[in-house]
Amino acid sequence: MKTIATLLLGLCASAAFALDIQPYTPQAFADLQQAGKPVALHFHADWCPTCRAQEKVFNQWKGDTTVPGTLLVANYDKEKDLKKQYGVRSQSTVIVFKGSMETARLGGATDPATLRTALQSAQ
């Protein structure tokens, strides 16, 4: 019994550090940054084919412990202040942070290896 409980506890702990994808909210972003957690902003537009390709890649990694952190999906058309704050000029931009420190920035990348490397830069 003790071995099963230990195994389950280990699985739950691992899942806590797996990629989580959520809609962007200022509060979620602030909380993750303040906690020093890996967090990425994905400036996504529904009309953007590159954004949809990125989304497919990211969705394949939901729950993947090799890509830890939280991906916050920001609406490119609505989050004008956020775009201005981070100098985002095009949809399909991904900015990765470890706490408040930017560790990677990509624009238009759809290659899974490139996206994975960017997200892993905040570990």
- Is 6's pLDDT higher than 60? no
Phi then psi for 109, rounded to 5 degrees? -75, 135
Q: What is the mean pLDDT of residues 29-50?
A: 97
75-115 pLDDT, tens digit each: 999 999 999 999 999 999 999 999 999 999 999 999 999 99
Spatial distance between the Cα atoms of 101 and 15, rounded to a whole number of angstroms: 24
- For residue 122, which of 62, 39, 9, 54 has the smallest C-alpha distance? 39
Q: What is the mean pLDDT of residues 43-51?
A: 98
CA 80 to chain centre: 19
- For residue 41, which of 110, 116, 119 has the smallest C-alpha distance? 119
According to DSSP, the β-strands at 38-44 and 20-23 are: unpaired
Domains along the chain with CATH numbers: 2-120 (3.40.30.10)
Calculate what percentage of the chain has a pLDDT beyond 70.
Answer: 87
Q: How confident is the model at residue 18 (pLDDT cuts 50, 70, 90)?
A: confident
